[in-house]
Amino acid sequence: MASEIKLTDVTKRYGRRPAAVDNFSITIPAGEIVVFVGPSGCGKTTTMRMINRLIEPTSGQITIGGKDTSTLDPDKLRRTIGYAIQQAGLFPHMTVGQNVGVVPGLLDWERKKVADRVEEMLDLVGLDPAEYRDRFPRQLSGGQQQRVGVARALAADPPVLLMDEPFGAVDPITRGNLQDELMRLQAELRKTIVFVTHDFDEAVKLGDRIVVLGNQSKILQYDTPEAVLANPADDTVAGFVGAGASLKQLTLRRVRDVELTQADVTVSTQDEPAEVRRRLREAGKSFALVLDVRRRPIAWVHVREPQVRRPIRDMVSNESTLQDALEAILTEGGNAVVTGARGEYVGLVEIDTVMSMVRELRETV
């Protein structure tokens, strides 16, 4: 069950210096992703950390689900709030399974219930429990570590999830995939999520609402991504939006909203090269999409060299934006491969589909 978060006249001071956060008030609706975006040092992380009392407010009131957080034990409060940070923050001496099960264990869940929850959460974030549960963080890629971090933050089924630049330390392709994964999870779980970033494009992609912050966490604009893009409140917000408003509008359009095409030929990783060549020649086509036994896209092969697989470097999901799809098309030099909730192949996005949308958006901006 998601909870509304309300901050009223919240201020944070350190000694006699000017307030880091000055008289901040906002209501974050239950079940929505609200993104704090602003320059480094503006106070966005300080503001977020006051929600779970990692930083204590100097004055003001914060409520979660109507309960004043200052009246609650800080440790118990934090166990009801998921927290995901940059570079995952996993405990290096613990296995993946132990990391994910930390908070349920602190809440005295039964051992079998914890084990079942670990399996469920790893599967939810796209990591095979049998393959990853007993690994240590050092044995994972950056993207896999971030997935484990999200699984850990969600393991105790908290109503609120705080995310502090969680995808800031990974490469752009992995970052896009993690953003898609978060949106898929949110569609299923409907948590109240406060997400901090300095990347405006990330804010537009993820947020149901965006809070654009200035110095001392002054709210410059609090609105939907569509409204912020169409009507920036002032020159500072307009600076965040930047040039190319029609292209940025692609961030508001999802792959699920456009018509997909299909690969002319799909083959299995178990098919012999001779069989692949035969099927391509019968179809009169040059390329086939290779799928594994779980129908996940792996690579492309050419009729002249069916034994040579060209791995797919960048894919998109149904939750991806059309901007993501355009980037994947440019990376791949061809159509963007689209996957479903469990990584299975569902279709392709063609460059003509994206360009048609760009032309449509330019007429309306």
- Looking at residue 295, its pLDDT comes to 92
What tokens appear for 281 in the block? 């020649």
Q: For each of the domains in the chain, give its residue range(s) and CATH number, in order of start.
A: 5-243 (3.40.50.300), 256-364 (3.10.580.10)
- Looking at residue 246, its pLDDT comes to 63
Residues of the chain with pLDDT under 50: none
Closest to 125 in 3D by CA, of 104, 149, 109, 103: 149
φ/ψ of 94, rounded to 5, equals -105, 150
Give the 3-state secondary structure of residue 70.
helix
The CA-atom distances, in angstroms, between 288 and each of 7, 205, 214, 262, 335 are 54, 32, 50, 11, 12
Predicted TM-score (pTM) above 0.75? yes
What tokens appear for 185 in the block? 């999870």
Report the amino acid identity of residue 90. Answer: L
- Looking at residue 365, its pLDDT comes to 57
Whether 278 contacts 269, CB under 8 Å: no
- Looking at residue 223, its pLDDT comes to 95
What tokens appear for 309 in the block? 């697989």
Q: For residue 317, give the H/E element and its range.
A: strand 316-317
Helices (H) and strands (E) in the chain, counts: 15, 17
- Looking at residue 238, its pLDDT comes to 87
Closest to 288 in 3D by CA, of 260, 318, 330, 298: 298
4-37 pLDDT tens trace? 999 999 999 998 888 999 999 999 999 999 999 9
Say if strands 209-213 and 33-37 run parallel, antiparallel, or are unpaired: parallel
Closest to 160 in 3D by CA, of 341, 8, 24, 34: 34
Q: For residue 118, give the H/E element and its range.
A: helix 111-124
Give the 3-state secondary structure of residue 2.
coil
Concatenated DSSP letters of 237-257:
HHHHH-S-HHHHGGGGSBGGG
